[in-house]
Amino acid sequence: MSYSLRMAHLLLSRSKLFMIVFSFLLCVQSTFAQEEKDEGKDKKFGSIYGIHTGPLLPNQIQGMTEIMPVWGVRYGLPVRKGMLEMGVANARAYGVEYYNISASIRGDYNIDDMYALIYAGIDSHYYSPNGAPFNMYFGAHVGGGFAAHLGDLLWFRTDMKFNVNPGTALYIGFGLEWRMAAGEGAGEEK
């Protein structure tokens, strides 16, 4: 196994480390976030942090035959036309260890007090079925979902994400998202 794959496996297998880093980033971001009054439907957001969980339904993936319980974290930052969203997900069940690292371009569309989400991007899948050596595949995904406002910065998010290669898989996720208020001029076109 190459050095980079061993390091990726080491980092991804340490779920406590991810939660600590995620918590630290959330605290740092909220320290620097500026307060902004709600400007209605056209409110701009800064960084987005999220946690999620849900079932992964694999199809034609060698060694993965059962529905896998997945949890993960996300981070998004505004770009000129939408959000760049990165995520890490992990599943360990039925003798299979599965890790997913993804990057997406996401668009948010306002519908009354909710946002519809549409995104597409690339994935790196890293899994070991039943104690076999780890396999690594690169693939793509498309997805969509909704985000509903729960509190000042807190949102509830649902997702359906369709992955391609290896085989196909459908992830149905539910989670929480912290949307930081945008700084002055963030998200505006010049």
Write out the chain's pLDDT in tens, 190 residues. 554 445 445 444 544 444 454 454 444 444 444 444 444 445 678 899 999 999 999 999 888 989 999 999 999 999 988 999 999 999 999 999 999 999 999 999 998 889 999 999 999 999 999 889 999 999 999 999 999 999 989 999 999 999 998 899 999 999 999 999 876 444 444 3
CATH number of 3-34+48-181: 2.40.160.20
> Locate tokens 């969203």: which residue?
85
Distances (CA, A) of 54 to 68, 78, 96, 134, 172: 8, 25, 16, 23, 6
Instruction: For residue 74, give the nearest of 58, 96, 43, 52 by alpha carbon.
Output: 52
What is this structure's pTM?
A: 0.72
